[in-house]
Amino acid sequence: MSETFSIGDLSREFEVTTRTIRHYEDLGLLAPTRSGQNRIYSARDRVHLKLILRGRRLGFSLKEIGELLELYDAPNGEASQLKRFIGKMRQRRGTLLEQRRDIDRVLEELDALEKRCAEILESRDENAA
Amino acid sequence: MSETFSIGDLSREFEVTTRTIRHYEDLGLLAPTRSGQNRIYSARDRVHLKLILRGRRLGFSLKEIGELLELYDAPNGEASQLKRFIGKMRQRRGTLLEQRRDIDRVLEELDALEKRCAEILESRDENAA
DNA sequence: AACGTACTTGACGTTTACGTAAACGTCAAG
DNA sequence: CTTGACGTTTACGTAAACGTCAAGTACGTT
């Protein structure tokens, strides 16, 4: 067990530059251990990176992603903190559901557009025939 | 018919600054007519703005949104162009579906996190009782 | 010993997406 | 006739998210 990764490993696996990964560390989103000078990433760090990139694809800012990661690692605090966390998560869920509705709308529009295009192409075929 | 809007109207309706709306015009995403100097937005312009903001919520860059709007307005070009458009739309659909999967994953994780939090709270209640 | 490869830390540059301030035009109400 | 609300252009500022060198370290190989 206890697999570890170099920055180059993660860079290749997730197709991001090492600069990007270090940037995330600068912002406190990653905290690899060190072997001498070199960064050593645990499986947990790797999961964090995966979550960061997923969040990025969803349009979250790195700051927001940081908060999400806090949630992810959190269940340690006091009851009051935990309740606040739960509240935040509910909010997140809300925006995510909105976002999914947005996606569905755009998908519908793309379908409609494609049909319009297809019809135009067909009608031209008729004229050409 | 033929309802029109001022920049302030749209600004209030969609809760963005006028600066933002003008910025979109600078980038060619909106093209209102003028009454003297003043911008006059048609219902179609309003729809465009709505689409722009939706795209933004989904994490698209304004440049990408511009391409999407081209698609939206497009069905005018030649057959070859239309086919290219259809190809682009398929790509879009691909990334959107990916994005939806991302969202579902995050939602699942939020559920799991919330359960973990709830369990912790419960176990503490027991100890407190 | 020299070379290649992977890693390190700065530090300045760039792109995107606006914010913000200045300075001015226009029109209706008081 | 001034005040206020709304609009205009121009232009510099800024935060976020990296890109892009430069210069050095630390290895294993040849």
Give B76-114 pLDDT, tens digit per residue: 667 777 777 788 788 889 989 999 999 999 999 888 888
Tokens representing B16 are 């963005």
> Residue A51: pLDDT above 90?
yes
More confident: A12 or B123: A12
> Residue B9: pLDDT above 70?
yes
Of B86, B96, B114, the CB nearest to A86: B114
Q: Does A110 touch chain B (CB under 8 A)?
A: yes
Whole-Å CA distances, B116 to A29, A76, A84, B109: 22, 11, 14, 10
Q: Which of A33-42, A108-117, B96-105 is predicted least confidently?
A: A108-117
> Residue B121: pLDDT above 80?
no
- Can you give the pTM of this predicted structure? 0.86
> Residue A82: pLDDT above 60?
yes
Q: Does B113 touch chain A (CB under 8 A)?
A: yes
Confidence category of residue A53, pLDDT binned at 50, 70, 90: very high
Percent of chain A with pLDDT over 70: 91
Q: Which residues of B touch A128 (CB under 8 A)?
A: none
Confidence category of residue A14, pLDDT binned at 50, 70, 90: very high
Q: Span A87-107, mean pLDDT?
A: 90
Cβ proximity of B65 and B56 under 8 Å: yes
Q: Which of A5-14, A114-123, B87-96 is predicted least confidently?
A: A114-123
Q: Does A107 touch chain B (CB under 8 A)?
A: yes
Q: Which residues of A touch B85 (CB under 8 A)?
A: 113, 117
Q: Span A96-116, mean pLDDT?
A: 90
Of B83, B93, B121, the CB nearest to A107: B93
User: Most confidently modeled of A45-59, A80-94, A114-128, B108-122?
Assistant: A45-59
Cβ proximity of B30 and B42 under 8 Å: no
Q: Which residues of B touch A106 (CB under 8 A)?
A: 54-55, 58, 92, 96
The pLDDT value given to residue A122: 80
Is A82 within 8 Å of B117 when comparing Cβ atoms? yes
Cβ proximity of B72 and A113 under 8 Å: yes
The pLDDT value given to residue A121: 77
Calpha distance A57→B57 (Å, rounded) = 11
Q: Does B31 touch chain A (CB under 8 A)?
A: no
Interface with chain A: mutation pick from B52, B80, B102, B124, highest number of A CBs within 10 Å: B102
